[in-house]
C-alpha cells in the first residue's frame, strides 16, 4: 500500500451514503470526489463498461428522486454544482464494481474503505433488528404481566366482596 494514498475519514464516507429506492447508494459525484477523479471521467468509464453495471448495481435517478436528493443535500443552483443531469446511483455492488473500471491505486484503497463501511452499517442495522425483536418480546411479557396483575386484583376484589357479604357468625363461648 502506498503512503501517498490518504485514508478518508469514515464519517465523510458515511455522509455520502443515501437511501434511495429502499437501498443504500452512493452518488457518482461523491464517488468521483472520493476516488480523486472528475465526475465525467467516472461516468465515461461506467458507460464504456455498462455490461458490468446491471440495474441492481447502478441506476440513474428519476426526476423525482433527483429533486428529493437535491433537497436532502440543499443544493439551490444545480447549474453551478454541475448537476444538470440526473446522477448515477451505485449500490454496494456497483461501488465494488467501480474498482475494476477505475483501475488506480487510490480507487482500490478507497473502495476497500467504502466496502468496510457498508459492512459496518449492515452490521449496525442487523444489531438494531435484534434489539427491536428483544424489545417486542419484552413488551409482550410486560403486557402479559399487566394482565396477570389485573387478574390478581380481580381475585382480591372478589374475595373482599365475599367477605363483606358473609354474615357475621354467632360467637361461641361465654355470653354476657
Arithmetic mean of pLDDT, 79-107: 76
Residue 83: pLDDT band with limits 50, 70, 90 = low
Strand pairing of 17-20 and 88-90? unpaired
Of the candidates 21, 32, 87, the one whose C-alpha atom is nearest the C-alpha of residue 56 is 21
Residue 133: pLDDT band with limits 50, 70, 90 = confident
Q: How far apart are CA 24 and CA 91, in angstroms?
A: 6
Q: What is the pLDDT of residue 59?
A: 92
- Whether the CB-CB separation of 90 and 20 falls below 8 Å is answered with no
More confident residue, 11 or 47: 47
For residue 77, report the phi and psi dihedrals to the nearest 5 degrees: -120, 100
The mean predicted confidence, pLDDT, of the chain is 78
Angstrom CA distances, 85 to 39, 56, 81, 131, stand at 11, 20, 11, 41
22: left (phi over 0), alpha (psi -120 to 50) or beta: left
Q: How far apart are CA 68 and CA 54, in angstroms?
A: 23
Residue with cell string 478507497: 110
Q: Establish how many alpha carbons lie within 13 A of residue 22's alpha carbon, considering only the half-sphere containing its beta carbon.
A: 0
Residue 166: pLDDT band with limits 50, 70, 90 = low
Range picked from 87-91, 160-164, 167-171 for highest mean pLDDT: 87-91
Cα dihedral 124→125→127→130 (10° resolution): 170
| pLDDT tens string 18-66 | 888 888 888 999 888 888 888 888 899 999 999 989 999 999 888 888 7
| pLDDT tens string 102-126 | 877 777 788 788 888 888 877 777 6
Q: What is the pLDDT of residue 71?
A: 67
Residue 80: pLDDT band with limits 50, 70, 90 = very low
Amino acid at each position: 500500500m502506498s503512503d501517498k494514498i490518504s485514508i478518508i475519514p469514515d464519517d465523510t464516507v458515511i455522509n455520502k451514503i443515501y437511501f434511495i429506492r429502499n437501498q443504500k447508494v452512493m452518488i457518482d459525484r461523491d464517488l468521483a470526489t472520493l476516488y480523486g477523479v472528475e465526475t465525467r471521467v467516472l461516468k465515461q468509464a461506467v458507460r464504456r463498461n455498462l455490461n458490468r453495471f446491471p440495474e441492481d448495481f447502478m441506476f440513474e435517478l428519476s426526476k423525482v428522486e433527483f429533486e428529493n436528493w437535491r433537497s436532502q443535500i440543499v443544493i439551490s443552483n444545480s447549474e453551478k454544482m454541475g448537476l444538470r443531469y440526473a446522477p448515477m446511483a451505485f449500490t454496494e455492488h456497483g461501488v465494488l464494481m467501480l474498482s475494476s473500471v477505475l483501475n488506480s491505486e487510490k480507487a482500490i484503497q478507497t473502495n476497500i474503505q467504502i466496502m468496510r463501511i457498508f459492512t459496518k452499517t449492515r452490521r449496525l442495522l442487523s444489531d438494531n433488528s435484534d434489539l427491536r425483536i428483544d424489545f417486542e418480546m419484552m413488551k409482550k411479557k410486560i403486557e402479559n404481566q399487566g394482565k396477570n396483575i389485573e387478574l390478581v386484583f380481580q381475585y382480591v376484589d372478589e374475595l373482599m366482596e365475599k367477605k363483606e357479604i358473609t354474615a357475621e357468625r354467632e360467637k361461641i363461648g361465654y355470653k354476657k
